[in-house]
Amino acid sequence: MCRRSGFSLIEAMVASAVLLLTCAAVSGTLAAVLRAERAVRQRSALEQVLAAERARLASLPFFVLAVPPQGQAPGDLQPSSLLAVVFPHARPEANSSTAFYCDGRGPGTTGSFVTLEEDQGIVLRRETRFVVGGGTEWDTVIPTALEGWAVWAGGHVPATTVEIALSVSSGDRTASTSLLLRALRTKAASPSASAVGGA
């Protein structure tokens, strides 16, 4: 009987099957790791957008009497202030599709103001409401106290504190936070001077 060196056909096929299964398992694990890494990167990018927006809002003066709008979006009102960006008016007739006062007839919490901004597939949503109280007890200012108010109309600011719910989304990823910002002083200023500081 003559012995040959090397592998038989069956041994070679079994070895190939084991190698194929190992490659499939490794590539499945690698794909899962890459998906997880991409999710962490996306979440980190959303968190960075939130942090930048929080810092930007906190740096704005709380209220400055703005020039009446003429086709401008909230946030474009001059001079800029926190209220011009996050709660410029309580007038449904001044609403747009991306910046609107919630009077109970549409989306959003009644008595709040919603702004939407989109940039490179990232959507930033702010929902702001005036609040009164302190500590852990904050109450929303009732909508009737807000009727007709606008940053360009002068008059009394409805409250010296706002609660802002920020959310950022991209695809199926979302990050959110909320913050309370209050005025350092409460009197109104002319459009040329800032009278109230941000939180």
User: What is the predicted pLDDT for the residue at 40?
Assistant: 87
130's tokens: 């005036």
Work out the average pLDDT over 188-193. 39
Contact (Cβ atoms closer than 8 angstroms) between residue 141 and residue 133 = no
In angstroms, the CA 53 to CA 41 distance is 18
User: What is the predicted pLDDT for the residue at 187?
Assistant: 43
Q: Residue 35: which H helix or E strand, with range?
A: helix 9-59
Residue ranges of the domains in the chain? 35-182
In angstroms, the CA 56 to CA 28 distance is 42
Over the stretch 30-62, which tens digit does the pLDDT of each residue have? 899 888 898 888 889 899 999 999 999 999 999
User: What is the predicted pLDDT for the residue at 4?
Assistant: 66
Indicate the average pLDDT of the chain: 84
